[in-house]
Structure 1
Amino acid sequence: MNVAIKPVAVVAPRGTRRIRPVIRRRIRGRGGSDAGMTTAEYAVGTLGACALAAGLYKVATSAAVLEALAGALDRALRVA
């Protein structure tokens, strides 16, 4: 069975205009939503992350936490 496939022409729907890609990108760029952070937001976010990490480091290396971890590890090894 020999079936010929005919190419179909793509036509824009009525009432729409074809806009060149460069113009379309410019139109989308105006007044669009902010997709990312600005440099100042990155700086504030980085400082906040560093402050949180420093606080967690201080807590994790405190004598009470290290003693509790050592005790838990000792009990776990003693049970087995």
Structure 2
Amino acid sequence: MNLAIRNAAVAAPGATRRIRTAIRTAVRGRNRSRGGRDAGMTTAEYAVGTLGACALGAALYKVATSAAVLEALAGALDRALHAT
């Protein structure tokens, strides 16, 4: 049980309404306009995502600059320019 809900239960008469409001707020989330409580990434998720993007970019760069790919691109360009 949430500590705020437990404290509201023993706080004063009429606490039932506060308990219902606290439960509704916890279930629905406070900031619906901003996408809810899990709308963004934390700093650790940003770091992992950035490292993953850099690794993917490095792998694609290595593939794109390999001799086989450059030769294939040069051949396709040569055929396109000398098409009759």
Q: Deviations over 1:37-78 (max 9, x none)?
A: 000000000000000000000000000000000000000000
Runs of 4+ in 1 over 2 A off after TM superposition: none
Q: Deviations over 1:10-46 (max 9, x none)?
A: xxxxxxxxxxxxxxxxx715xx531100000000000
Percent of matched pairs sharing the same residue: 85
How does the TM-score come out when normalised to structure 2? 0.57
Report which structure shows greater RCO (CA 8 Å, sep ≥6): 2
Count the aligned residue pairs. 52
Give the aligned CA root-mean-square deviation in angstroms: 1.6
Q: Which residue of 1 aligns with 2:74?
A: 70
Query: Which one of the candidate residues 13, 20, 35 is aligned to 2:39?
Result: 35
The two structures have a TM-score, normalised by structure 1, of 0.60
1 or 2, which has the higher helix percentage?
A: 2
